[in-house]
């Protein structure tokens, strides 16, 4: 029994033969990597020995990211020219894993003056940009022995909340893109999966008072708390291991039981 448990743990941590990473470590490209869950992805991948390339929209906001990554690249995920320029700069650089993480929230009611801006920007950042990033990374991914794509969506892809309809639609699109790309790229051995975080302590939620977080968590989640960014990062890591090669088109929900409690 102990030997079986040890083997399971070694698979989950990527430490079995052929899965420890050094000079020839896999390279992961993470969009929106300078804060929140994206920054935690960079930290956790780096801690596991991966080579990390993180993208940021604002190149002046990279202090924490630069401390844990091999390379930081400026990228406006909504700008096709910026994506093409990044693809050019990364030409010949091996990319084994793409984590499409960039995201925003622009609350708006459907009849508000800013609705059109919220709609266009949300779909551009969290739906269109994921497709453009996949296109840009695809030549490198096709050369990888274990190519992986993970699109970061949200539990909004499984339901809906008032006043953030553009965000909700974009996250549904991210899940749809995941399934479509899994089917399209599967014959090439490229796995494409989706992670749906629930209530997580990030920059997006830090303005919510702690007492409100506590009330929400106790009412809506099974575990009765907010999750931490590293918990989402560890879940994502489990999808990119060489041992995860038969998982594709899947949605991994990291929400403390919010979805099942409110089904």
> Which positions are catalytic?
167
Closest CA to 40 of 237, 226, 175, 253: 237
Order of strands, edge to edge, in the sheet holding 97-100? 71-74, 51-56, 27-30, 97-100, 148-152, 191-197, 251-254
Q: Which residue matches tokens 């266009």?
A: 120
Whether the CB-CB separation of 101 and 33 falls below 8 Å is answered with: yes
Beta bridge partners of 73: 55
Whether the CB-CB separation of 229 and 201 falls below 8 Å is answered with: yes
Q: Which residue matches tokens 């909340």?
A: 161
Q: What is the DSSP letter of 16?
A: S
Give ∠ CA 160-240-22 in degrees, rounded to 5: 145
């Amino acid at each position: 029994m102990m030997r079986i448990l040890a083997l399971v743990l070694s698979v989950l941590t990527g430490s079995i033969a052929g899965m420890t990473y050094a000079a020839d470590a896999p390279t992961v490209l993470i969009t929106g990597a300078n804060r929140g869950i994206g920054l935690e992805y960079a930290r956790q991948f780096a801690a596991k020995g991966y080579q990390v390339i993180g993208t940021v929209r604002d190149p002046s906001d990279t202090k924490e990211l630069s401390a844990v990554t091999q390379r930081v690249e400026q990228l406006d995920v909504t700008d096709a020219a910026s994506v093409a320029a990044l693809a050019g700069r990364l030409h010949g650089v091996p990319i084994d894993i793409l984590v499409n993480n960039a995201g925003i929230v622009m609350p708006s009611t459907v009849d508000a003056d800013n609705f059109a801006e919220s709609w266009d920007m949300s779909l551009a950042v969290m739906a269109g940009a994921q497709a453009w990033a996949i296109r840009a990374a695809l030549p490198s991914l096709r050369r990888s022995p274990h190519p992986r794509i993970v699109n970061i969506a949200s539990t909004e892809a499984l339901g809906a909340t008032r006043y953030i309809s553009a965000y909700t639609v974009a996250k549904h699109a991210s899940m749809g893109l995941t399934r479509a790309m899994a089917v399209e790229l599967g014959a090439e051995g490229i796995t494409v999966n989706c992670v749906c975080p629930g209530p997580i302590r990030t920059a997006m939620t830090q303005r919510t008072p702690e007492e409100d977080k506590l009330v929400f968590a106790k009412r809506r989640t099974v575990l009765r708390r907010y999750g931490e960014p590293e918990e989402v990062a560890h879940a994502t890591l489990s999808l990119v291991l060489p041992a995860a090669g038969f998982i594709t088109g899947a949605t991994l929900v990291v929400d403390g039981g919010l979805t099942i409690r409110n089904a």
